[in-house]
């Protein structure tokens, strides 16, 4: 099987592990920088090129698209889809997952537990916005933040009002969210592949830090999920249309609360914490899904 991996850096842990496992299972694999791919399309003949070389003959593509290039990356994934190549992450699910507000709205529609969240545009709504999420302390999030960047804890009502006013003054879209005190600066990352949780870790923020992201200096340990937590992770991934997802949630007094569903979750933290070969599970998913598609195509051809 020929597998394409979309990644801007072939030396990243996640990319190297996927290449390693694909080769170990006898597949031909190549890494493409999606920002250097380009699209040529006409009626019924979609095509992709990389350094003037036509990309063709691939059975599956594994997108590893960073948040800063979501629009272009999704367009490249969409072109693969138009070329009938199986993708582990659908283009529409990728763009959906990167919109924090839309994601929260989808979680709410699916009756999943989420922190109380408010969104407004006008400065005159700020006092009501703060009251709606239970007052200070509260969390303020940029809609396009990632890896803990663009997330602010406002510990007093005065601080919250000042920060929200500042963001609104810069014409920046933000979410205001309730602070879950009992989470204790920790969250859970559940890694979902093909409708199953294949590994989970608890991430704890360093002392004095409310964000638990490993990129912010947090630590992680393997955790066995409660049935309700595992079910919430799978339901959240399904709601977003993601077959591979990192589902972040908080443990609260009212059950698991979904924070975010990541469409390009990193493998390093989860593999090292759980000692589970997540990369192999992703390649196995490719084999099962792309393989079935190829067999069906052969039968139709006969």
Q: What is the reported pLDDT for 211?
A: 57
Q: What is the reported pLDDT for 301?
A: 37
**Structural domains for the chain:** 2-89 (3.40.50.20), 99-112+182-262 (3.30.470.20), 117-179 (3.30.1490.20)
Sequential pLDDT tens for the chain (302 residues):
999 999 999 999 999 999 999 999 999 999 999 999 999 998 888 999 998 899 999 999 999 999 999 999 999 999 999 999 999 999 999 999 999 999 999 999 999 999 999 998 899 999 999 999 999 999 999 887 565 567 889 999 999 999 999 999 998 899 999 999 988 888 999 999 999 999 999 998 666 555 555 555 567 899 999 999 999 999 999 999 999 999 999 999 999 999 999 999 999 999 999 999 999 999 999 999 987 655 444 443 33
State pTM to two decimals: 0.89
CA distance 72 to 128: 37
């Amino acid at each position: 099987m020929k597998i394409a991996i979309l990644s801007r850096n072939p030396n990243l842990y996640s990319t190297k592990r996927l290449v390693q496992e694909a080769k170990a299972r006898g597949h031909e694999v190549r890494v493409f920088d999606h920002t250097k791919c380009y699209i040529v399309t006409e009626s019924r003949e979609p095509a992709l090129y990389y350094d003037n070389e036509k990309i063709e003959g691939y059975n599956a593509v594994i997108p590893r698209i960073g948040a800063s290039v979501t629009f272009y990356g999704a367009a490249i994934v969409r072109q693969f889809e138009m070329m009938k190549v199986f993708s582990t992450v659908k283009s529409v699910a990728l763009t959906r997952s990167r919109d924090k507000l839309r994601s929260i709205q989808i979680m709410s529609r699916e009756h999943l537990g989420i922190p109380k969240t408010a969104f407004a545009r006008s400065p005159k709504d700020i006092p009501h916005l703060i009251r709606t999420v239970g007052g200070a302390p509260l969390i303020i999030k940029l809609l396009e933040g990632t890896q803990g960047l663009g997330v602010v804890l406002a510990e007093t009502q005065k601080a919250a009002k000042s920060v929200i006013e500042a963001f609104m003054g810069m014409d920046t879209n933000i979410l205001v969210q309730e602070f879950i005190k009992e989470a204790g600066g920790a969250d859970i990352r559940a890694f979902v592949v093909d409708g199953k949780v294949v590994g989970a870790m608890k991430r704890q923020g360093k002392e004095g830090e409310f964000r638990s992201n490993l990129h912010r200096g947090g630590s992680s340990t393997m955790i066995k999920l409660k049935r309700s937590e595992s079910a919430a992770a799978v339901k959240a991934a399904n709601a977003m249309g993601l077959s591979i997802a990192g589902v972040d949630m908080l443990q609260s007094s009212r059950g698991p609360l979904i924070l975010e569903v990541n469409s390009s979750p990193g493998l390093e933290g989860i593999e090292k914490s759980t000692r589970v070969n997540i990369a192999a599970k992703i390649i196995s998913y490719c084999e099962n899904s792309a393989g079935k598609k190829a067999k069906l195509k052969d039968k139709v051809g006969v």
